[in-house]
Amino acid sequence: MKSSFDAVMIGAGHNTLAAALHLSAKGWRVGVFEGAATAGGAVKTGEYTLPGFRHDWAAMNLSLFAGSAFFKQYGAELQRHGCAFVPVARPFASSFPDGSWCGVSTDRAETMANLARLSQDDAATWARLCDGFGDEAPHLFGLLGSPMRMRALGYFIFKMLRAKGVAGTLDMGRFLLASPRAWLDETFASPRTKAMLGAWGMHLDYAPDIAGGAIFPYLEGMAGQAFGMVLGQGGADTIINALVAAIRARGGVVECDAPVARVLREGDRVTGVELADGRRVMAGRAVIAGVAPQNLSRLTGAVTPAFDKGLAAFRHAPGTMMIHLALSDLPEWRAGAALRGYAYVHIAPSLDKMARTYSQASAGLLPDEPILVVGQPTVVDATRAPAGKHTLWVQVRMAPGVIAGDAKGQIGARDWDGAAGPFAERVLDILEAHAPGTRAKIIGQSVVTPVQLQAENPNLVGGDQVCGSHHLGQHFLFRPMRGHADGSTPLAGLHMTGAAVWPGAGTGANPGYLLAQRLAGA
């Protein structure tokens, strides 16, 4: 049995869905085929603990999507199909072992008062950075939203030279190459200020001493101050449900439980895909693969030696483990009730501990003191839990996909079936130390290991939620490899998208949108 489309999408992550919607709007007939039971990839929501408690499976923060060029163009359409956001005025904070804390809110005076408790100099520095953010943001967001081709990059550098001069451009280049620790050390005085901001580097595989990571603590800090954060009303899947509905309304097809078995080829040109059930789906213009690089070669077979080598060499970040909790009440943070008002609370005590955790997980060890991102979505969105109850979203950074040992010497299991329970208890011990009594409030719990993350979504190799390291050798012009940062491949008609393609991970949908614009001519 055959069917045909102008474009066939492999996978229904938010990037392939964004590409499908844009191409549909340009008159293309699109078909999206997803192996899982639901669309969304790492962006989905479900009742993983108890009925009525809605938990975001992996991604929770939708700020990049809400602020994206894609949403600017299609936001009204998506809202008509049910997409709804909840603004967050207090996006993130950090809790420290001695009971102190610091947080960023959209109220500048409030943030500066928080920082001043740690360091008056840091409060003054924050004011200076905020005052300058309006001048720096267009350059940084322009770079991160630009097609990564030599012509586009050259034009970006030309504009920066005109705006900032040679010295300013060189300073920007130095900043883009700096590690989080290097920038934080030369900018702030308090170790806790540095830790609060440095925790953001861990989200994108940038431990404190990894070159190229300084931009993330800076942007997350400044964007949190300027714009806050955005969550999906009722769950992160609000964007997925709306994308699917919009595509179908435009005549496109989105089919789940439909894994793709292989890409069909005639020599060096792709013609469509074959599904696992034997159906052939033909593509008149393009096949767009939203898959991790190592999974693409399994679908295509050998392409060219250089391209095949690049796919095989693509490196993944250490994994993560998710713990979803249904609670009778929010945690009582030892640092004070103010922390109950923040969407994210990082438990990342110092840059040194972050570096140690990253090193341990990279070596295959269960970290002795993993970094925690504790999400409290019901602080701003009561629809995610029954009245008076709450959900907690605990992202454990980092956790090895393959266990070689335990850094603390207490867990003997070398597989996640045996290690999940005791490692989750280690995580809850850390949470309990910062928020005593939390264990007693747990009425439902679901632990999702790196192995389970990959089983549910093959793009999350080893539990890597960012679908590939963003270190400099695999970023910018080199994501996923030199010559293919625009999603192109040596096979005519075959294109890549998703977090493994420039500009990389996050919910902004830029990889899919940039590709669709290139294919459609605008």
Q: What is the pLDDT of residue 421?
A: 98
Question: Over its length of 522 residues, how does the chain's per-residue pLDDT go in tens digits?
Answer: 678 999 999 999 999 999 999 999 999 999 999 999 999 999 999 999 999 999 999 999 999 999 999 999 999 999 999 999 999 999 999 999 999 999 999 999 999 999 999 999 999 999 999 999 998 888 888 778 778 776 767 767 777 788 888 988 888 889 999 999 999 999 999 999 999 999 999 999 999 999 999 999 999 999 999 999 999 999 999 999 999 999 999 999 999 999 999 999 999 999 999 999 999 999 999 999 999 999 999 999 999 999 999 999 999 999 999 999 999 999 999 999 999 999 999 999 999 999 999 999 999 999 999 999 999 999 999 999 999 999 999 999 999 999 999 999 999 999 999 999 999 999 999 999 999 999 999 999 999 999 999 999 999 999 999 999 999 999 988 999 999 999 999 999 999 999 999 999 999 999 999 999 999 998
Please state, in angstroms and rounded to a whole number, the distance separating the CA atoms of residues 202 and 233: 26
Indicate if the alpha-carbon torsion angle 216, 222, 227, 229 is positive or negative. positive
DSSP state of 459: T
Tell me how long the chain is: 522
CATH for the 2-86+235-313+466-520 domain, from 3.40.50.300, 3.10.20.30, 3.30.1490.480, 3.50.50.60: 3.50.50.60
> CB under 8 Å to 22, separation ≥6 — which residues?
70, 73, 74, 512, 513, 516, 517, 520
pLDDT of res. 1: 60
Q: Phi-psi bin for 347: left (phi > 0), alpha (psi -120 to 50), beta?
A: beta
494-496 vs 280-289, strand pairing mode: parallel
pLDDT digits (tens, 9 = 90+) for 119-140: 999 999 999 999 999 988 888 8
Take residue 144 and report the two structure tokens written for it: 């991160």
Q: What global pTM score does this model have?
A: 0.96
Question: What is the model's pLDDT at position 298?
Answer: 95
Where are any strands of DSSP class E within 358-425? 365-366, 371-375, 390-399, 405-406
Cβ atoms < 10 Å from Cβ of 483: 14
Res 155: pLDDT: 66
Residue 338: alpha-carbon gap to chain centroid: 27
CB–CB of 424/417 below 8 Å? Answer: no
**Spatial separation of the C-alpha atoms in residues 436 and 366, rounded to whole Å:** 24
Q: Is 478 exposed, middle or buried (0-12, 13-18, 19+ CB in 10 A)?
A: middle
CA angle 489, 468, 456 (to 5 degrees): 95
Strands (E) located in 301-455: 319-327, 344-347, 365-366, 371-375, 390-399, 405-406, 442-448
**pLDDT for position 136:** 85
Query: DSSP string of 28-87?
Result: --EEEE-SSSSSBTT--EE-SSSTT--EESS--B-HHHHTSHHHHHHHHHHHHTT--EEE
CB-count exposure of residue 134 (10 Å: 0-12, 13-18, 19+)? exposed
Closest among 357, 342, 330 to 102, alpha carbons compared: 342
The pLDDT value given to residue 152: 67
CA pair distance 183, 156, nearest whole angstrom? 23
What angle, rounded to 10 degrees, do the helices at 510-520 and 14-25 form?
30
Question: Which amino acid, residue 228?
Answer: G
Exposed/middle/buried for residue 322 (C-beta within 10 Å: 0-12, 13-18, 19+): buried
| Alpha carbon distance 21, 297 (integer Å) | 26
Q: pLDDT at position 437, please?
A: 98
Q: CB under 8 Å to 103, separation ≥6 — which residues? A: 90, 92, 93, 94, 111, 114, 196, 338, 339, 342
Amino acid 283 reads A
Q: Which residue reads 């300058």 in tokens?
A: 132
Show me where the domains of the chain are located.
2-86+235-313+466-520
| Separation in Å, CA 490 to CA 361, 449, 495 | 35, 35, 9
DSSP state of 434: H
274 vs 258: CA distance, rounded Å: 10
Side chain identity, residue 39: A
